[in-house]
Structure 1
Amino acid sequence: MTTLFDPELGPELRARAQRIRGFVLDVDGVLTDGAIVYDADAREIKSFHVWDGFAVKVLQKIGLEVAILSGRRSAVVAHRAAELGIREVLQGHLKKRPAFEELVQRSGLRAEEFCVIGDDLPDLALFELAGLAAAPGDAHPLVQQRAHYVARRGGGRGAVREVVELVLHAQGRFAELAALFA
Structure 2
Amino acid sequence: MAQATLAELAARCSGIELLALDVDGVLTDGVIELDDDGVESKHFHVRDGLGLALWHRAGKRSAILSGRAAEVVRRRAEELKIGHVAQGLADKGEAFRAMLGELGLDARQVCYVGDDLIDLPVLRAAGLAACPADAVAEVRQSAQVITEAPGGRGAVREVVETILRAQGLWHNLCEPFRVPAM
Scaled by the length of structure 2, the TM-score of the pair is 0.92
Tell me if the contact between 1:116 and 1:134 (Cα under 8 Å) persists in the aligned partners. yes
Residue type at the aligned position of 2:43:
S
Residue 177 of structure 1: CA displacement? 2.9
The 1-side partners of 2:99 and 2:60 are apart by: 14
Are the equivalent residues in 2 in contact too, given 1:58–1:180 (CA < 8 A)? no
RMSD, aligned α-carbons: 1.5
Q: Give 2:129's aligned residue.
A: 133
User: Which deviates more from structure 2 when the two are superposed, residues 153-162 or residues 53-62?
Assistant: 53-62
Structure 2 letter corresponding to 1:81: A
- CA offset digits 1:18-65 (Å, max 9, x no partner): 121111000000000100011233211101001111111111121111
Structure 2 CA distance for partners of 1:92 and 1:37, relative to 1, 3 Å: same
Aligned pairs for 1:1-182 (under 5 A) are: 10-179=6-175
Any unmatched runs of 5+ in structure 1? 1-8
Q: Which amino acid aligns with 1:126?
A: V
SS of 1:128 mapped into structure 2: helix
Q: 1:132: how far off?
A: 0.3
Cα displacement string for residues 87-139 of structure 1 (whole angstroms, at most 9, x for unaligned residues): 21100112101111111111122111100000000111011210100000000
How far 1:160 sits from its partner (Å)? Answer: 0.3
Moved more, 56-65 or 110-119: 56-65
Q: Structure 1 runs of 4+ off > 6 angstroms?
A: none
Shift of 1:181: 5.6
Q: Is there any run of 5+ residues in structure 2 with no aligned partner, and where?
A: none
- 1:30/1:155 contact within 8 Å kept: yes
Q: Which moved more, 1:40-49 or 1:146-155?
A: 40-49
Identity within the alignment, %: 48
Match for residue 5 of structure 1?
A: none
1:117 corresponds to which letter in structure 2?
A: V
Query: Kindly tell me: are residues 115 and 43 of structure 1, through their superposed partners in 2, closer, same or farther at Cα, counting changes over 3 Å?
Result: same
Give the structure-1-normalised TM-score.
0.92
Length, aligned pairs only: 175
